[in-house]
């Protein structure tokens, strides 16, 4: 990458502006590059960010966002030179990096070890066990397979679970992780984005070998939301390498994704075929009885914590009626009502349940309005490709519609900020929050923009 940029920009410019930059962090897919002074930061942003992004892309590393930050504030210098001439006068590097390193912080062995430690830091949810997973027609095969797999049954090294949002995939992965641990196995449980982030971090630290070795120490590798790995071909190849290496060592791999292996766009045929060769199970949408049983279990948990709060059974019945709701959706309505009762000390009535359920069914919080619909319609409206919403592009023609889509996802679905961020190319929840505030502010300032947003909002509500 260093050589690519040097060739494109020429030695003097490269040495003056690019070489002194440092890689500050790579967190949640945000690549933070450090500049020593505000002036340098502004100059790099205005002149070189697009090239830097292109160079990353050419190396098949696609950070969701690229930011340049000032590593040491020197306001007086910034003020004096912020009106810099357009002509670039090559200057001596501000703090010369080692000659063979671009964007590379000095990583001590300790820091590298720390980065590897982060791989293992995921906490397991003690309540998401096989016992607390309610089985029904739509998911009993998945439950049985996950249980047997984590008890060591069968010869297949890989289990792949797919199903809709909120259908219980992560719950089953967590339960499997707990079970494997109980059996003394060393479990590595990562979301696809975490895998990608750690891998790309290792790439920039130039210690991918250590990363590979570290992964191979796991007895069990569990990956959630595999669909997000497709964003970088380098990561997808690394993932395949890891799965193959673990399979050769007769270790086990459990994967979850929102779609079947064949529908994982962006993954090569080799990865798909590797996955399809494992045990593939689907979680369907639980039927009414299962939804009611899940709600009853939640109510019992709640009653143990707050015995004074009463939630009548007819309330649970009414919530379970919601035909298109996933377990997550029904649990969200229950939690809302139970929290209301707890805070106000008022009983929850069937009418309140009716109202909460009605709100969702009417479209203001409709479970039918999916983030995918929102992305599709918003992209169509602004003449973009949905993939632009997942990309790191920050050009206004993409960034503003992306913010609108995030705002609509927040308004029209019950998805949390982190979840919305994840669906928009693995962005951070603070990015979503910022987008929502920005869109609200713009709606107040600009009547035309407000009309656009209202139009999209109404159109999406009518889809249901």
Ligand X SMILES: Nc1ncnc2c1ncn2[C@@H]1O[C@H](COP(=O)(O)OP(=O)(O)OP(=O)(O)O)[C@@H](O)[C@H]1O
Q: What are phi and psi of 68, to 5 degrees?
A: -110, 125
Nearer to ligand X, 238 or 258 (CB): 258
According to DSSP, the residues that pair with 253 across neighbouring strands are: 158, 221
Nearer to ligand X, 300 or 447 (CB): 300
* 3-class DSSP state of 298: helix
Alpha carbon distance 133, 140 (integer Å): 10
Nearer to ligand X, 167 or 407 (CB): 167
Checking 73-78 for CB contacts under 8 A at 24+ apart, the result is 73/38, 74/37, 74/38, 75/38, 77/37, 77/38, 77/39, 78/37, 78/38, 78/39, 78/42
Least distance in Å: CB of 128 to ligand X?
5
Residue with tokens 């219980």: 168
Least distance in Å: CB of 328 to ligand X?
4
* Interacting residue ranges for ligand X, rule: CB under 6 A: 128, 132-134, 139, 163, 165-171, 258, 286, 294, 327-328, 331
- By Cβ distance, which residue is nearest to ligand X? 168
Query: Which pair of structure tokens corresponds to residue 143?
Result: 């439950």
Least distance in Å: CB of 236 to ligand X?
19
Q: Which helix (H) or strand (E) holds 273?
A: helix 269-276
Is 212 annotated to bind ligand? Answer: no
Is 144 annotated to bind ligand? Answer: no
Is 208 annotated to bind ligand? Answer: no
Q: How many CA atoms lie within 13 A of 234 on its CB side?
A: 18
Least distance in Å: CB of 282 to ligand X?
11
Is 335 annotated to bind ligand? Answer: no
Least distance in Å: CB of 127 to ligand X?
8
Nearer to ligand X, 173 or 405 (CB): 173
Residues 260, 280 contacting (CB under 8 angstroms):
yes
Least distance in Å: CB of 313 to ligand X?
18
Query: Which pair of structure tokens corresponds to residue 48?
Result: 């070189």
Taking the CA atoms of residue 427, residue 432, residue 438 and residue 442 in that order, the dihedral angle to the nearest 10 degrees is 100
Nearer to ligand X, 305 or 447 (CB): 305
Nearer to ligand X, 44 or 256 (CB): 256
Q: Residues forming the annotated binding site for ATP?
A: 166, 168-170
């Amino acid at each position: 990458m260093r050589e690519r940029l040097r060739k494109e920009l020429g030695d003097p410019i490269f040495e003056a502006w690019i070489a002194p930059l440092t890689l500050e962090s790579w967190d949640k897919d945000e690549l933070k590059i450090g500049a020593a002074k505000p002036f340098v930061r502004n100059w790099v942003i205005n002149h070189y960010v697009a090239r830097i992004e292109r160079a990353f892309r050419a190396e098949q590393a696609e950070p969701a966002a690229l930011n340049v930050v000032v590593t040491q504030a020197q306001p007086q210098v910034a003020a004096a030179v912020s009106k810099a001439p357009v002509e670039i006068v090559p200057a001596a590097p501000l703090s010369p990096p080692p000659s063979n390193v671009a964007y590379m912080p000095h990583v001590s062995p300790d820091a590298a070890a720390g980065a590897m430690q982060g791989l293992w830091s995921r906490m397991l949810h003690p309540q998401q066990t096989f016992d607390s997973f309610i089985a029904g027609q739509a998911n009993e095969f998945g439950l049985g397979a996950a249980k047997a797999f984590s008890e060591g049954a069968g010869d297949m090294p890989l289990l792949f679970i797919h199903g809709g949002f909120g259908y219980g995939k992560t719950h089953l992965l967590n339960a499997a992780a707990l079970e494997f641990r109980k059996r003394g196995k060393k479990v590595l449980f990562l979301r696809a984005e975490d895998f990608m982030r750690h891998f790309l971090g290792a790439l920039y630290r130039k210690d991918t070998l250590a990363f590979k070795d570290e992964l191979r120490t796991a007895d069990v590798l569990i990956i959630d939301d595999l669909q997000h790995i497709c964003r970088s071909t380098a990561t997808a190849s690394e993932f395949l390498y890891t799965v193959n290496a673990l399979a050769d060592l007769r270790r086990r791999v459990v994967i979850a994704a929102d779609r079947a292996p064949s529908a994982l766009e962006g993954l090569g045929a080799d990865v798909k075929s590797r996955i399809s060769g494992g045990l593939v199970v689907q979680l369907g949408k639980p039927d009414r009885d299962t939804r009611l049983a899940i709600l009853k279990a939640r109510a019992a948990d709640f009653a143990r914590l707050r015995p004074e709060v009463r939630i009548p059974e007819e309330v649970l019945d009414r919530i379970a009626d919601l035909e298109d709701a996933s377990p997550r959706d029904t649990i969200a309505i229950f939690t809302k009502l139970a929290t209301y009762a707890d805070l106000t000390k008022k009983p929850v009535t069937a009418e309140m349940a009716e109202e909460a359920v009605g709100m969702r069914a009417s479209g203001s919080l409709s479970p039918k309005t999916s983030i995918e619909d929102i992305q599709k319609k918003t992209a169509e409206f602004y003449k973009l490709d949905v993939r632009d919403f997942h990309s790191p592009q920050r050009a206004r023609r993409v960034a503003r519609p992306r913010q609108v889509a995030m705002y609509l996802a927040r308004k029209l679905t019950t998805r949390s900020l982190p979840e919305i961020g994840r669906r928009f190319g693995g962005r951070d929840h603070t990015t979503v929050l910022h987008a929502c505030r920005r869109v609200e502010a713009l709606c107040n300032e600009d009547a035309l923009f407000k009309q656009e947003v209202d139009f999209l909002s109404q159109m999406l509500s009518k889809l249901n």
